[in-house]
Amino acid sequence: MAIKQMMMDDVDGTPIPEDAGGTVSFGFRGVSYEIDLTAENEEKLAAALAPFIDNAREVDHSQSAETPQAELDPAVLEVAERLVALDKERAVVLQQQAAENLAAGKKPYDTTDARRWLIERGIEFNQMGPLAKEFRTLYEEHYGLPSYDLAPKHPKR
């Protein structure tokens, strides 16, 4: 025995015959909605919205939802690529220095450089006293450096 499912009107709960009503989609304030309505309630909704729809503009949703990317000046792209390359070169130098410093029993890097890096990026931090671990970690992760905390507590002079 087959069981037949029937749609119910979401407003008044009455059954919706197959040929008289169905799902209605609409949008309001940037949100899309769907509601199941009998033909009678669909007409009521249409009548209620008619004065607004008559004065509204239709939106074409067939285009991509992505915002087109602005064209960048090739010279700007070239400078940006060079800055990224320099930053990578800097990382290699800092990593080598850190390895040498740790091998000599010293801290992997001077926090003065980390402070300068933070300032260049507009990151606010307390500039008095020791540099907080969270800021050292940002610097270490950016350049792939070992943790400042791995070094001996009393570096060799």
In this structure, are residues 16 and 22 in contact, taking their beta carbons and an 8 Å threshold?
yes
In this structure, are residues 81 and 97 in contact, taking their beta carbons and an 8 Å threshold?
no
Q: What are the helix (H) ranges across the chain?
A: 39-53, 74-103, 111-120, 133-143
Task: Return phi, psi of residue 84, to 5°.
Answer: -65, -45
Can you give the pLDDT of all 157 residues of the chain as single tens digits? 555 667 888 888 888 888 888 888 888 787 888 888 888 888 888 888 888 888 888 877 665 555 555 677 788 888 888 888 888 999 999 999 999 999 998 889 999 999 999 998 889 988 888 999 999 999 999 999 999 887 666 555 5
Per the rule left: phi > 0, alpha: psi between -120 and 50, beta: everything else, 105 is left
**pTM of the complete model:** 0.49
Residues 6 or more apart whose Cβ sits within 8 Å of residue 24: 34, 35, 36, 37, 42, 45
Query: Considering just the CA atoms, what is the radius of gyration of the chain in Å?
Result: 32
